[in-house]
Amino acid sequence: MNIEEFFDQVLTVRMTPERDALDIIDQTLLPGTIRRIELRTKEEIWEAIKKLRVRGAPAIGVSAAYGLALLASGVKSDDYDGFYKEVKEYKDYLASSRPTAVNLFWALNRMERTLIDSKDKPVAEIKEILFAEADKIREEDVQISRNIGEIGFKILKDLKKEGEPVGIETHCNAGTLATAKYGTATAPMYIALEKGWKGSDMHVYCDETRPLLQGARLTAFELHQSGITTTVQCDNMASLLQSQGKVQVIFVGCDRVAKNGDAANKIGTSLLAICAKHYGIPFYVCAPSSTIDLETPTGKEIPIEMRDAEEVTEMWYKERMSPEGVDVFNPAFDVVDHDLITGIITEKGLCTAPFDEAFERLGIGK
């Protein structure tokens, strides 16, 4: 399978040809079952985002944009004020599905701005404009990931030694499944394949990523499908792995970056960064500029989603693995301190400390 055939197989989100449903891969079923599902109602779209059927900050943003366009297309009112009121209610409802991924709010806010900017046009035309805007968001996401991949690929080239694979570690899933195409943390690897590298030129170590196992289920699935040499290890094996010199670089994604460079990502990322600092391994956060929130001064202000206890105690087991009634601490994210980050790779360029100055220099947030 060539790289384009691979991308076609794992396309994360699209509209149906009739534009009557949002068509996604149900990522909760991977890797055992590759099944596409069609979402038509606000409840189905909300549930798919909340329950991680579609997940990854960029993919959530693209899905929310298409979802809002789809819901708007079904509004009956031909009066702008009535149309706007109903679409705004849909927007607010979808925004309540996940509290941390800033792309969700960014995409929905962008769709609302488009709606407001089109207020002098007929409602039927506005509906078409909203679909076109969602298409733009998707196309921009593909280009953003590709740009991140190009920058990350330069890092890989500098690390490559003749006859040896580059050892790469990643956490959770910031792959093509988490975006419209390429991914963020995996984009350097897919760009490498596009530029003629073999899958054996890289050896990617995927953290299992408890408790939802996005690394074991999703990242390992897509990298293995693409032909890249892939190994899965439990999260708590990272220190030993790194101490053995098998990892030359770490790429992770993120859901939100604060103004000072603190980065929120899937739970366990901060432990990985602490280990990397200890062993002197460069640690890069791959972040579309839309995830950089200049209104949030530091990581302390980033809200951390708390998830159901059942994800820890019983989701993956035939029998419950903890005593009934025991308390469970199950945050979805943690925050990597900016001091642990070698660089933040955005589509506009590589940012290094001090990060607030780097963001300003690249025009991020303007």
Q: What is residue 256's three-state secondary structure?
A: strand
DSSP string, 161-206: -TTSPEEEEE-S--SGGGSSSS-SSSHHHHHHHHTT--GGGEEEEE
Q: Is 344 exposed, middle or buried (0-12, 13-18, 19+ CB in 10 A)?
A: buried
Ranges assigned E (strand) in the chain = 13-15, 22-25, 36-39, 166-170, 202-207, 229-233, 249-252, 256-258, 263-266, 283-286, 292-293, 333-336, 343-346, 349-351
Max Cα distance, the chain (Å): 66
Question: Which one from 141, 201, 255, 262 is the annotated catalytic residue?
Answer: 255
- β-partners of residue 205 are 169, 231
306 three-class SS: strand
Coil vs helix vs strand at 344: strand
d(CA 343, CA 355): 9
Q: Is residue 255 annotated as part of the catalytic site, yes or no?
A: yes
CB within 8 Å of 208: residues ≥ 6 apart: 215, 216, 232, 233, 234, 235
Contacts of 160 (CB under 8 A, 6+ apart): 166, 201
Element (H, E) at 325: none
- Map residue 249 onto helix, strand or coil: strand
258 DSSP β-pair partners: 293
> How far apart, in whole angstroms, are the C-alpha atoms of residue 55 and residue 28?
10
What does the CA dihedral 289, 290, 294, 299 come to, rounded to 10 degrees? -90
Burial (CB count within 10 angstroms: exposed 0-12, middle 13-18, buried 19+), residue 1: exposed
- The bridge status of strand 22-25 relative to strand 292-293 is unpaired
Residues acting as catalytic residues: 255
